[in-house]
Amino acid sequence: MLTVRGLTKSYATADGSFQALKGIDFEIPAGGFYTLLGESGCGKSTTLRCVAGLEEPDGGSISIGGEVVTDTARGLHAPAFERDIGLVFQSYAIWPHMDVFANVAYPLKVARPRLGAPEIKARVLEALRLVGMEDFAGRQATKLSGGQQQRVAFARALVRRPKLLLLDEPLSNLDAKLREQMRFELQELIRRTGVTTLYVTHDQSEALAMSDTVAVMSAGRIVQSGAPREVYGQPDNRTVAHFLGSANFLRGRVIEAGDGLATVVLAEGAVEIRVPSRVALSAGAAVDVIFRPEDVTTHLDPAGGAIECSVERVVFQGGMSEYQLRLGSTLLRTVVHPSVSAQPGDRAWIAIRPERCILFAAG
């Protein structure tokens, strides 16, 4: 439904130019939910704005539903209003001087060919029903809560039944609780309408929870894409491992490798573990062993694990506590049930689940 090929884009700056996109390629199948995730400034919004027709790329092509809307080689750049898309941004951008009905009806009123008033009314009410706002049709748009305003923005984006829905951080203006609730609502809404979705966020939990495919961007490139579990569990490089959730790094040395497994002795703690290895490694190689906080069990007695640490910090977070543990010169993060109560300075013993470790050649 969406194909993006070789997208490049530079912006003029005071001292020359800055290349925001360095060659972006991806596609989204019909009904797919594809998320661009990455740190601030990596080029997520620029990519989405090129797809929307709000920004003209320097190179590359874009097609929506089989129709080529951008092709820089042919000088083709269809304006946003000619693209079959719905758009929602972080700021609700609903029009304060109109009521809810008029806000949602607007895209239909400017659409060509013209629709009759009864058809417009039916479509607006259908879109409002989709987002649970049919009782608010006559309400002034400014007299709505943040979450309600964003629901109106979703209704307005969907009212033309676009082939492609483009969402740029649509939930980040909402408070934490509402954001989580709207995450499920939005997901359900998208599932019901079956609309193909390109979603932009820097919130990794949002990306993991909602998407079919997550593409991690860094400095104008997609560095890895795949199903959320795959990208989280099998990061291809350190950038991805760091960006998606918190990752612990321990330096180690390979003592034996083969058949997709390596035996590694961890430099700190002199403990041997046997871990999956996707890269070719030979005995003696220095490696970084990467593992997630949830893949470590933390105990306050020596029987609990082979690696001895000291508790540096305990951060109570309600449903769980996060521990920072010192192992030699390294700080590790682990998650612990809140009923366990350790104090900074206590000894702790950890066990790492070897099958969940990821190895990278030391760098």
Ligand X SMILES: Nc1ncnc2c1ncn2[C@@H]1O[C@H](COP(=O)(O)OP(=O)(O)OP(=O)(O)O)[C@@H](O)[C@H]1O
Chain contacts with ligand X (rule: CB under 6 A): 11, 13, 18, 20, 38, 40-46, 202
Instruction: Report whether 233 contacts 239 (CB < 8 A).
Output: no
Task: Rule CB under 5 A: say whether 45 interacts with Mg ion.
Answer: yes
151 vs 202 by CB, closer to ligand X: 202
Judged by beta carbon distances under 5 to 8 A according to partner kind, the member of ligand X, Mg ion, none in contact with residue 20 is ligand X
Residue 46, both tokens = 């620029």
In angstroms, give the least distance from the CB of 45 to Mg ion.
Answer: 3
DSSP at 112: S
165 vs 348 by CB, closer to Mg ion: 165
Judged by beta carbon distances under 5 to 8 A according to partner kind, the member of ligand X, Mg ion, none in contact with residue 40 is ligand X
41 vs 304 by CB, closer to ligand X: 41
70-97 per-residue burial string, b: 16 or more CB within 10 A, e: under 16: bebeeeeeeeeeebebbbbbbebebeee
Helix (H) / strand (E) element for 119: namely: helix 117-130
- For residue 66, which phi and psi values (nearest 5 degrees)? 85, -10
In angstroms, give the least distance from the CB of 11 to Mg ion.
Answer: 13
In angstroms, give the least distance from the CB of 313 to Mg ion.
Answer: 32
87 vs 133 by CB, closer to ligand X: 87
In angstroms, give the least distance from the CB of 220 to ligand X.
Answer: 7
In angstroms, give the least distance from the CB of 328 to ligand X.
Answer: 35
Judged by beta carbon distances under 5 to 8 A according to partner kind, the member of Mg ion, ligand X, none in contact with residue 311 is none
DSSP at 52: H
200-213 per-residue burial string, b: 16 or more CB within 10 A, e: under 16: bbbbbebbbebbeb
Give the span between the Cα atoms of 335 and 341, in whole angstroms.
Answer: 12
Residue with tokens 């002795």: 265
List residues binding Mg ion (CB under 5 A). 45
